[in-house]
Amino acid sequence: MKLYYSPGACSLSPHIVLHELGLPAQPVLASTKTHRLADGTDYYTVNPKGYVPLLELDDGQRLTEGPVILQYLIDQRPGSGLLAAPGSMERYRQLEWLSFITSELHKSYSVLFNPAMPEEAKAIYRQRLRGRYEYVNQQLEGRSYLMGDAFSAPDAYLFTVTTWAKHVKVDLEGLAHLQSFMARMAGRPAVQAAMRAEGLTK
């Protein structure tokens, strides 16, 4: 398999899960600025959507959209515990979190990374994100991870998008449960390995 990624982008989430599962995959750098690969290939010829992540399977099929890629990877390791059994309420709760992170957190950050967006609009989105994070913080009270004591797929996604907060001035002050979660995630060997692989840490 090949995972097309850009350092620190949302592709970090499946990168973390690959390491958690011990699945082999070749990381392929795809710049979100130039939209070119290291060999000069136009990334749009690989993924017409132009963004990461993209997972290329050994048979040449390609999957896009982070939450779907997470589910595919985890389904390659049945019993890993990173997603509950299909049809179970726990599985639907995990999918609920993945949907929330996609629509309410990830997409709000997209506005803040857009240099053409007026500062007044960015202030609205920062305030919106603060409100969403207050909800997440409440849900993490008394829990190590989103689903309880055990790490699962949504945690990788939440960690990834929340690392962006400091870069775009999203206020996370006072959200103690969220801060504890981030520290706990940063200490996981798979997270450290994925971040090293993307050149985010030494």
CATH code for the domain in which residue 112 is found? 1.20.1050.10
Query: For each of the chain's 202 residues, which pLDDT tens digit applies?
Result: 999 999 999 999 999 999 999 999 999 999 988 999 999 999 999 999 999 999 999 999 999 999 999 999 999 999 999 999 999 999 999 999 999 999 999 999 999 999 999 999 999 999 999 999 999 999 999 999 999 999 999 999 999 999 999 999 999 999 999 999 999 999 999 999 999 999 999 8
Are 94 and 165 contained in the same domain?
yes
The CA-atom distances, in angstroms, between 51 and each of 65, 92, 105, 172 are 9, 27, 17, 27
Q: How far are the Cα atoms of 41, 71, 74, 148, 152 from residue 66, in angstroms, in the given order?
A: 22, 9, 12, 22, 14
Smallest CA-to-CA distance from 164 within 107, 117, 97, 124 is with: 107
Model confidence, pTM: 0.97
68 & 29 share domain: yes
Q: Which residues pair with 56 in a beta bridge?
A: 2, 62
Residues 94 and 153: beta-carbon distance below 8 Å: yes
Give the residue numbers spanning the domain of 170. 89-188
Within a domain: 202: no
Judge if 95 and 184 occupy the same domain: yes
Q: What is the CATH number of the domain that holds 11?
A: 3.40.30.10
Give yes or no for a contact between 73 and 18, defined as CB atoms under 8 angstroms apart.
yes
**Domains: count for the chain:** 2
